[in-house]
Amino acid sequence: MSRFLAALGLPRLWTEDEEAVWAFLRAYVGPLVMAVAPVCAYGVERVPREGGLVIAANHFSGIDHPALAVASPRPVCFLSKAELFERPLVGDALTWTGAFPVRRGEADRAAIQRAVELAASGRVVAVHLEGTRQSSGRPGVFKPGAVAIARRARVPIVPCGLDTSGWTAANRRPCTVVLGEPISLGDLPAGHRGRAAGLELVGQEVVRLWREAVAAREAGFPPELADGSRRSGACIRGLSRRTGSARSQTKVGPDVL
């Protein structure tokens, strides 16, 4: 199927321009994402509009990529598990958006180098810090890949907290994305010490933003969060169509927060 579409010249509909691909996705796929997973985003204004950067986020669900893509004001190049690129149509669609494969459970130097090149050239690269989905309902052990990419590319990291735990095709609950202020790693020491310090700094912020994301859902998605993060204007339209009231959603207790 994917080869058939490629043979028809489908990628050339947007002249193989990834910016055009993302404009198409926002216009036609974005509303579909909001229908199956209403996404409320905060802190979108914190994402630099120019220059390369790495978005470092936690990882809970298969909806995480679409949710972050809907929230981001810029096209995002995702490190996606290599198995997805072997699926008919899915692999081609990912490639058209600028995503690239990473082999899980091993040090995939080619994927890291590709991420460094993209970020250094001014693109936005998204990395899930745990490397795989977490079923515990809270962020897991963070890995240094995002920090290594940002340091080698000499670009900032934008931390991101995702509240998507428990989302499935059968439980299409509202999801929250909270983006933080860019973090520069340029002043950290070289080598392992600097990488460890950077991971601690970024990891703490991602956990804080995840807590803000959960709190936003608990509070019914207020216009602004305690840290000053502003709600994206597109959020509530999708939320009201799907859920009516965010307060009816399952509560997350203090033992999790």
Which pair of structure tokens corresponds to residue 35? 């229908």
Residue-number span of the structural domain to which 223 is assigned? 37-248
Q: Does a structural domain hold residue 142?
A: yes
pLDDT at 131: 85
Give the predicted TM-score (pTM) of the model.
0.80
Per-residue pLDDT tens for 105-143? Answer: 556 688 889 899 999 999 999 999 998 899 999 999 999
Given a contact cutoff of 8 angstroms between Cβ atoms, the answer to whether 179 and 40 are in contact is no
3-state SS assignment for residue 88: coil
Question: Would you say residue 244 has pLDDT above 60?
Answer: no
> Is pLDDT larger for residue 244 or for residue 50?
50
Q: Does a structural domain hold residue 32?
A: no
Q: Does a structural domain hold residue 158?
A: yes
Average pLDDT over residues 87-97: 55
Question: Would you say residue 67 has pLDDT above 90?
Answer: no
> Is pLDDT larger for residue 77 or for residue 238?
77
Q: Does a structural domain hold residue 257?
A: no
Given a contact cutoff of 8 angstroms between Cβ atoms, the answer to whether 124 and 78 are in contact is no
Q: Does a structural domain hold residue 241?
A: yes
Nearest to 139 by CA among 89, 203, 182, 183: 203
Given a contact cutoff of 8 angstroms between Cβ atoms, the answer to whether 24 and 75 are in contact is no
Task: Work out the pLDDT band at 81, boundaries 50, 70, 90.
Answer: low
The number of distinct structural domains making up the chain is 1
Separation of alpha carbons 131 and 106, rounded Å: 10
Question: Would you say residue 2 has pLDDT above 90?
Answer: no
Q: Does a structural domain hold residue 16?
A: no
- Which CATH number goes with the domain that contains 206? 3.40.1130
Task: Work out the pLDDT band at 195, boundaries 50, 70, 90.
Answer: very high
pLDDT at 207: 98
In this structure, the number of other CB atoms found within 10 A of the CB of residue 26 comes to: 14
pLDDT at 105: 58
Q: Does a structural domain hold residue 25?
A: no
Separation of alpha carbons 212 and 54, rounded Å: 20
The β-bridge relationship of strands 175-179 and 157-163 is antiparallel
Q: Does a structural domain hold residue 19?
A: no
Task: Work out the pLDDT band at 104, boundaries 50, 70, 90.
Answer: low
